């Protein structure tokens, strides 16, 4: 896949705002705009990073007063000549301006085409391009931080450094081939093993961050389980109501499913299968065991809600098995019934009805994510494509390590290491040629205009 040099255009803002932005990019971006833009002077004569007031005209008719921001190649997002037209945010005005720009020689951009061009122009690598999409979709501080770090290239730099070290190994091994008659070893096998093990550890660390990274990006799945009448839906309503400002924003995002989730101190928590909690059916279900097990299987945190009305002073053994990666919070609800009771250690007392203990529960939720242990500069993998590439790279590295152990000849060893390099390279797109299919999948997830 190589981009053409058409002049592409697309609205870059959603309808309904006071202003709208239309992006135009390509060799002929200025000429295309100048056919419909009337300012003090043509945009083709303008310097980069300047803004120009003017009108968009259709013959004698003025469509709108606009501001045109000019970017000159290579100093633009795409690396090409680009213009961003700010007009009034009417869907009619935007469609009229688009129509005129099409007639002037532009064509509609496909989803992600601006970013695809930026990638081919070397403005950003593939993982940075993916971070742009994540940034646009981010709906919590944590998701924003992950996308922002990745977009700024910290992750790419870490991968490049692994790649460089591996390339160094292959060059040493390949040097041996040139001197194969003389039976020399440029790459001390013990040293080789040490470096490979170190890289293996780095890969493993990155792989291990994925579960948390992905959960932070998508929202941490939480299951609330407990007997009928324990107060599950009261608790859920309370959490949702207290964070209403944030919850209501979710409806406006482009997610397919509007789910119940809240942001607590910048981290999004998603409540699993809350429809079941909220309907009376659940209460009528005899034990709801099946549903409970399904909830638990998908959760990272389980809130086990016990009812004070039936609480005997000790916590009964759970009626379910907790998955390995899952944290359990045991909560006794309705403490308002017996405010003086002292609960076993580690058990949170709550009154979902009055709100007592809710802050403690929130802090416990935050702690259970494991996100607090993350350093701001820690590299966290949040993209499943990257996770897969890293996992495959690590298996290849394991094979290389085994080969080393078994005294594999330098050329075969080097080939195994090259596999590792290739899979790491797939993440950033550096040093590998990626299939159109991979690029197509990545960029088709973008919105139009990005």
Interacting residue ranges for ligand GDP, rule: CB under 6 A: 226, 228-234, 277, 283, 333-334, 336-337, 351-353
Q: Are strands 348-350 and 327-333 parallel, antiparallel or unpaired?
A: parallel
Q: Between 234 and 330, name the residue whose CB sits nearer to ligand GDP.
A: 234
Q: Between 11 and 357, name the residue whose CB sits nearer to ligand GDP.
A: 357
Closest distance of CB 285 from ligand GDP, Å: 10
Closest distance of CB 233 from ligand GDP, Å: 4
Measure the CA–CA gap between 304 and 327, rounded to whole angstroms: 10
Closest distance of CB 277 from ligand GDP, Å: 6
Q: Between 121 and 347, name the residue whose CB sits nearer to ligand GDP.
A: 347
String of DSSP letters for 223-264: EEEESTTSSHHHHHHHHHHHTHHHHHHHTTS--SS---EEEE
Closest distance of CB 307 from ligand GDP, Å: 8
How many CB atoms are located within 10 Å of the residue 307 CB? 16
Q: Between 246 and 337, name the residue whose CB sits nearer to ligand GDP.
A: 337
Helix (H) / strand (E) containing 57? strand 50-58
Which conformational region is residue 116 in: left (phi greater than 0), alpha (psi within -120 to 50 degrees), or beta?
Answer: alpha
Token pair listed for 6: 């058409």
Q: Between 339 and 344, name the residue whose CB sits nearer to ligand GDP.
A: 339
Residue 339 makes CB contacts below 8 A (sequence gap 6+) with none
Token pair listed for 243: 């964070």
**Could you tell me the CA-to-CA distances from 387 to 92, 206, 210, 382 in Å, in that order?**
43, 8, 7, 8
Closest distance of CB 255 from ligand GDP, Å: 25
Q: Between 221 and 231, name the residue whose CB sits nearer to ligand GDP.
A: 231
Token pair listed for 230: 């324990």
Closest distance of CB 257 from ligand GDP, Å: 21
Q: Between 226 and 429, name the residue whose CB sits nearer to ligand GDP.
A: 226
Measure the CA–CA gap between 358 and 347, rounded to whole angstroms: 13
Closest distance of CB 252 from ligand GDP, Å: 28
Q: Between 231 and 425, name the residue whose CB sits nearer to ligand GDP.
A: 231
Measure the CA–CA gap between 247 and 239, rounded to whole angstroms: 10
Q: Between 229 and 398, name the residue whose CB sits nearer to ligand GDP.
A: 229
- Closest CA relative to residue 331, chosen from 221, 230, 222, 236: 230
Q: What b/e sequence results for 88-113 when a residue is b if at least 16 CB atoms lie within 10 Å of its CB, and e otherwise? A: ebeeebbebbbebbeebbbbebebbb
Closest distance of CB 250 from ligand GDP, Å: 22
Closest distance of CB 400 from ligand GDP, Å: 54
Q: Between 128 and 233, name the residue whose CB sits nearer to ligand GDP.
A: 233
**Could you tell me the CA-to-CA distances from 414 to 188, 352, 421 in Å, in that order?**
14, 61, 10
Closest distance of CB 337 from ligand GDP, Å: 5
Residue 302 makes CB contacts below 8 A (sequence gap 6+) with 222, 223, 225, 295, 296, 322, 326, 327, 328, 329
Closest distance of CB 283 from ligand GDP, Å: 5
Measure the CA–CA gap between 147 and 68, rounded to whole angstroms: 29
DSSP character for 13? S
Q: Between 346 and 355, name the residue whose CB sits nearer to ligand GDP.
A: 355
């Amino acid at each position: 896949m190589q981009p053409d040099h058409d002049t592409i255009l697309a609205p870059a803002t959603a309808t309904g705002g006071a202003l709208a932005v239309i992006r135009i990019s390509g060799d002929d971006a200025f000429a295309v705009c100048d056919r419909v833009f009337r300012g003090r002077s043509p945009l083709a004569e303008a310097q980069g990073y300047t803004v120009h007031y003017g009108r968009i005209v259709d013959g004698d008719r003025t469509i709108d007063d606009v501001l045109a921001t000019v970017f000159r190649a290579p100093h633009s997002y795409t690396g090409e000549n680009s213009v961003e037209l700010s007009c009034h945010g009417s869907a009619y005005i935007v469609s009229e301006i688009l129509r005129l720009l099409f007639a002037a020689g532009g064509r509609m951009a496909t989803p992600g085409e601006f970013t695809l061009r930026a990638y081919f122009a070397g403005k950003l690598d593939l993982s940075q391009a993916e971070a742009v999409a994540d940034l646009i979709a981010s709906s919590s501080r944590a998701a924003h931080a992950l996308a922002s770090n990745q977009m700024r290239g910290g992750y790419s730099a870490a991968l490049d450094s692994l790649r460089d070290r591996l390339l160094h190994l292959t060059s040493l091994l390949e040097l041996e081939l040139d001197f194969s008659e003389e039976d020399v070893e440029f790459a001390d096998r013990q040293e080789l093993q040490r470096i490979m093990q170190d890289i293996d550890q780095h890969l493993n660390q990155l792989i291990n961050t994925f579960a948390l990274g992905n959960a932070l990006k998508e929202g941490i799945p939480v299951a609330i389980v407990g007997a009928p009448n324990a107060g599950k839906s009261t608790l859920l309503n309370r959490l949702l109501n207290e964070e209403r400002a944030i919850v209501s924003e979710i409806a406006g995002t482009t997610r397919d499913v509007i789910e119940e989730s809240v942001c607590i101190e910048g981290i999004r928590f998603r409540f699993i299968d809350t429809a079941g909690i909220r309907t009376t059916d659940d209460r009528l279900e005899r034990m709801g065991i099946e549903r409970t097990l399904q909830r638990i299987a998908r959760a990272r945190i389980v809130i086990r809600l016990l009812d004070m009305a039936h609480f005997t002073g000790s916590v009964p053994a759970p009626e379910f098995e907790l998955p390995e990666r899952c944290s359990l919070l045991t909560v006794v609800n309705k403490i308002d019934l017996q405010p003086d009771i002292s609960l076993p250690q580690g058990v949170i007392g709550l009154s979902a009805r009055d709100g007592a203990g809710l802050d403690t529960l929130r802090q416990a939720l935050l702690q259970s994510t494991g996100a607090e242990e993350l350093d701001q500069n820690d590299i966290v993998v949040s993209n499943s494509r990257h996770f897969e590439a890293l996992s495959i790279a690590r298996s290849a590295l394991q094979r290389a390590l085994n080969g080393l152990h078994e005294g594999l000849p330098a050329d075969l060893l080097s080939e195994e290491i090259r596999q590792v390099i290739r899979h790491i390279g797939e993440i950033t797109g550096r040093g590998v040629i990626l299939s159109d299919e991979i690029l197509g999948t990545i960029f088709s997830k973008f919105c139009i205009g990005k």
